[in-house]
Amino acid sequence: MKRLARSFPGAYALRQCLREYVEGHKISKLGSKGFIYHEPNYIPVSYAGPMVITVHDLSHMRYPQFHPPERVSFLNRHLPAALQRADRILTDSHFVAQEIIDVFRTPAAKIVVTHLGADVASRSRSEWEEAATLQEFKLRRSGFVLSVATLEPRKNLERLIDAYAALPDALRRDYPLVLVGGSGWKNTALLSRLRELEARGEAIRTGYLPRDQVLDLYATAALFAYPSLYEGFGLPVLEALASGVPVLTSNISSLPEVSGGAALEVDPLSVDAIAEGLRALLDDAALRQRHASLGIERAKAFSWKHCAEQTLAVYRQLA
């Protein structure tokens, strides 16, 4: 229903008008009292005081075909003014910060990078609980390839499926492909291709799962594959690294920044490159262990605590 509502002409503009009326009215008097307004989702409402906005990525500009036209039009119309009005702009990665500088000529001094974190290490799940999740989907520990992503074009799952299908029969039998995530959009061809693998018992589509079950699958996969075409950060990659699972990801956008060389990075536009990466990891236990160990160390460089401290420092600068 939410997706349908957003497809109507003028839906985003109407939503912003309602936000201006409801939220803007509530905070209108706070600006003169020194309160800082932080808009975590691109476009703020009108505000007379200090303002911070978060811009997660520019995918609506880089890949407009992957978004509803209304969203693209709305962001193209309102984001330039929001960037100009904001006193500080937070981004999830240096990659996005540089894109904003290049595209909008925004002064670098206005932008602060606040890398995201992963709370994987703090979880407490027993092997019995992990085993229950594996049993639900008829999986074995270290016996499947995992990908966690909404089933939509930007995640590049069609090429991942084609690459997986190109693997030798024995590898596909030993390591089924498990896709976790919501149904998404513009995925008719993807679902058709996926059903072919499902019919042969080589793929499992779980749909949306509770977070504990997702983390169970991270912890028990043979490898995690995330060849996305564009990310502003790539939180699933960080969560997989922190879980101690070897990761295959893209060598473009923000993903090398997150991976830091701990993942096996491939060209996401090449089915052959993705297939070669999958096969290299699945055929070589020592290589998998090396990338798993590198991933655990790399993930230590990111934390929600540090993200919060950086954000708080921005607030204090503007206070």
Write the pLDDT tens digit of every residue in 107-151. Answer: 999 999 999 999 876 666 788 899 999 999 999 999 999 999 988
List the domains of the chain with CATH numbers. Answer: 2-117+306-318 (3.40.50.2000), 120-299 (3.40.50.2000)
Instruction: Summarize the confidence of residues 216-224 as an average pLDDT.
Output: 97
Q: Where are the alpha helices (DSSP H) in the chain?
A: 2-6, 11-27, 59-62, 69-85, 94-104, 127-136, 157-165, 169-174, 188-199, 211-220, 235-243, 255-259, 271-283, 285-299, 304-318
Give the three-class secondary structure for 278. Answer: helix
Choose among 98, 200, 193: nearest CA to 151. Answer: 193
Distance of CA 207 to the CA centre of its chain: 16
pLDDT attached to residue 278: 99
**For the ranges 9-13, 30-34, 231-235, the one whose mean pLDDT is highest:** 231-235
What mean pLDDT value characterizes the chain? 92
Instruction: Summarize the confidence of residues 94-98 as an average pLDDT.
Output: 99
pLDDT attached to residue 7: 54
How far apart are the C-alpha atoms of 173 and 237, rounded to whole Å? Answer: 25
Choose among 74, 65, 69, 16: nearest CA to 45. Answer: 16
Choose among 149, 158, 115: nearest CA to 254. Answer: 115
Q: Are 255 and 264 in contact (CB under 8 A)?
A: no
The better pLDDT of the pair 23, 32 is held by: 32
pLDDT attached to residue 28: 77
Q: Judge whether residue 5 has pLDDT over 70.
A: no
Joined together, the tokens standing for residue 190 give 């993807």
The amino acid at 306:
H
> Is the model's pTM score more than 0.85?
yes
